[in-house]
Amino acid sequence: MLGRLLLLFLLTPAVELALLIQVDKLIGFGPTIGLIIATGIAGSYLARREGLNTWERLNDRLQSGDLPGKELVDGVIILVAGALLVTPGVFTDIVGFIGLLPPTRALVRKALMRRFQSKMQRGSMQVQFGIFGGSAPGPNGGGPQAPSSPDQDDAGDGWEGTGRRIPRHEDGKTSSPSNSR
**Is residue 96's pLDDT more than 70?**
yes
Position 165 confidence tier, pLDDT thresholds 50, 70, 90: low
- What are the boundaries of each domain within the chain? 10-121
DSSP 3-state assignment of 173?
strand
Task: Return d(Cα 97, Cα 100) in angstroms, integer.
Answer: 5
Q: Give, as one character, the DSSP assignment of residue 169.
A: E
What average pLDDT score do residues 56-64 get?
92
Task: Return d(Cα 144, Cα 147) in angstroms, integer.
Answer: 9
Task: Return d(Cα 104, Cα 142) in angstroms, integer.
Answer: 40
Its pTM stands at: 0.64
**Is residue 164's pLDDT more than 70?**
no
Least confident of 31-35, 63-67, 121-125, 170-174: 170-174
